[in-house]
A = this chain, B = another copy of it.
Amino acid sequence: MTPPIGFYFDFLSPYAYLGSIEVEKLAASRGRTVEWRPILLGISVLKVMGLKAVPDTPLKGDYAAHDWPRCARLLGIAHRPDAKVQFASLAAMRAFAWLNDRDAELARAFGRAIFRAHWAEGRDMSAPEAVAAEAEPLGILPASLLAAIASQAVKARLRSHVDAALAAGVFGAPTFAVDGELFWGADRIGQVERWIETGGW
């Protein structure tokens, strides 16, 4: 059994969307699995760091708005350059944390659907009702999802994921974890591949 590649993500990041596709592709080609690890970038991690969200950061916000679609075009990944960057991802992240404890495979399918709906189809996935509607075709009852994401247990579970990520030194999304090494940024997938290939350098 080879260990999984860790994939720290927050749906709010278009780079995490690109990373989700690249890391699944890489893992498949190397006989590895991917362990999706939810973090709350905007409302938790960046606060610990004392940073603003990228879209709200002068200069960098404009750059990212131009850069992520440019990266997507290069990678051949479907995208909507006009997708809403102020993505309040909390409901979707809680839903992921809830599903992940029940069925990690289903949670990943849900994750791919949310990423695609928001960043490739331009449908805002901020509202709990939008998240529930997106999950329904996967066999998830909307009422169950809405009840779960409002529960204290699921909030606490997601919080524990975030705390574990911070303790591991994660500060951005996507971050990939392979054999104890962290690689931050969708553009580091080549280094992740190299690390797996060579066992490190």
Contacts and interface: CB of A to CB of B under 8 A. Distances in A.
Given A52-B50, A73-B201, A59 B169 contact: yes
Interface in A153-201: 166, 169-172, 181-182, 184-185, 187-188, 190-191, 194, 201
Nearest to A52: B50
A63 B187 contact: no
Contact of A166 (B52, B59, B74): B59
Contacts of A187: 185, 187-188, 191
14 contacts: A45-B59, A48-B59, A49-B58, A50-B57, A51-B57, A58-B171, A62-B169, A67-B184, A70-B201, A71-B191, A73-B201, A185-B187, A187-B188, A190-B190
Interface of A: 45, 48-52, 57-60, 62-63, 67, 70-71, 73-74, 166, 169-172, 181-182, 184-185, 187-188, 190-191, 194, 201
